[in-house]
Chain A
């Protein structure tokens, strides 16, 4: 694996570079998707940026609050260094809430905005898997299959590569659905349903995944919840469209 990249006398952490590139690519894709879906590009881009910035600040502040006894002795450490010390759950919650309310404030259509954000979201997932693969924190189960990769002398499932392929497939689905002019919400729901179903399947091949006290894979439970949630929303959407068509035909 390649935890660091050497450029001349400087050494950079690979994961950090991949995350930065991932954010840049995700924001670029969101901008292009908004253009293609004929949304207010600036406002849609703003939703992503607001969500990201508020998420980072909230994650840091939540960590500071949690460890106030330590930070109170050295206030400068609240803002420096920033390379570690975040509460991810708080960041996700407040980032999502800020993005939602910013979208409402800008009067963006809910489902179309989610459609535009989807390629960015999937790109972020791909970047996380790639950083995991290159820097090595996540690794697969033991295997003798020919596609296994050697991780410090032991042959393992290239589980992060599977996740990257899954993310690209979900991006492909999003692109195809958008190209066919599907109703708002369908690109988001179909691609996220595919991605979550894939993660539900693939998590078995992670050797250091999070488990509940009973040994169930936490990622699988989350993925199943998202997958079923997407299907339920798709059902509501599709049946509403069918009902509308029926009503239109009767009136016609």
Chain B
């Protein structure tokens, strides 16, 4: 019996040492994520597809210009009830993290006039972009509204949420991305 317990102990120690050695061998250099090896895709862990769109008053906004801070990309439309529900959360988030993180609203398939009216009526201060031919919506595979995409300071998609998000989730994800940086 003792021999058996002794044998067990030896085997467990050997297994533990081999496991620890494997962990040591697999240790990675602490480095930036391998961004150069990533391709653009609207999928978690990939570079967010870059785009340039205009606000209803003609200001040009390019996603990659916001590298260095977390970006929350919200796809919405004026006819979408749930989008209207969550917009005050985005507004509050934009106010709270002004300068540290950016909220961008990308409209789905509506004209600049509709986007402009909606923004004024809802008191939205973050940029609402016009995508009347749905180019960016298609690039991001947006099938359902609202869709919210969290992009870290390196431009990598961290999470895609289809459906309404609330204020706490927005803060949690933004702070998580800021901490990771």
Residues of A at the B interface (CB closer than 8 Å) are 1, 3-4, 6, 11, 13, 63-64, 66-67, 70-71, 73-74, 77, 80-81, 83-85, 135-139, 142, 151-154, 197, 200-201, 203-204, 207-208, 211, 213-217, 220-221, 223-224, 227-228, 231-232, 234-235, 238-239, 242-243, 246
Contact = CB atoms under 8 A, between A and B. Distances in A.
Contacts of B53: none
B34 to A, nearest CB: 7
B120 interface: no
A83 B30 contact: no
B19 A227 contact: yes
Contacts, number: 139
B60 interface: no
A208 B9 CA distance: 35
Interface in B120-176: 141, 143-144, 160-169, 171-172
B58 interface: no
A132 B11 CA distance: 34
Nearest to B164: A81
Contact of B162 (A13, A215, A224): A13
Given A137-B45, A224-B16, A6 B143 contact: yes
A243 B19 contact: no
A3 B1 contact: no
A161 B164 CA distance: 31
Interface string B1-19: 1001100110110011001
Contact of B19 (A63, A83, A200, A208): A200
Q: Contact residue range for chain B?
A: 35 or more
A107 B171 CA distance: 43
Nearest to A211: B28
Contacts of A197: 19
Contacts of B38: 154
A80 to B, nearest CB: 8
B163 A81 contact: yes
B26 interface: yes
Contacts of B172: 63, 66-67, 85
B80 interface: no
Nearest to B34: A207
Nearest to B96: A70
Contact of B43 (A71, A136, A231): A136
Nearest to B2: A239
B166 A77 contact: yes
A145 B30 CA distance: 26
Contact of B30 (A63, A214, A221, A243): A214
B20 interface: yes
Given A63-B168, A81-B164, A217 B26 contact: yes
A138 B165 CA distance: 22
B39 interface: yes
A84 B44 contact: no
A211 B30 contact: yes
Given A138-B45, A152-B39, A152-B41, A224 B19 contact: yes
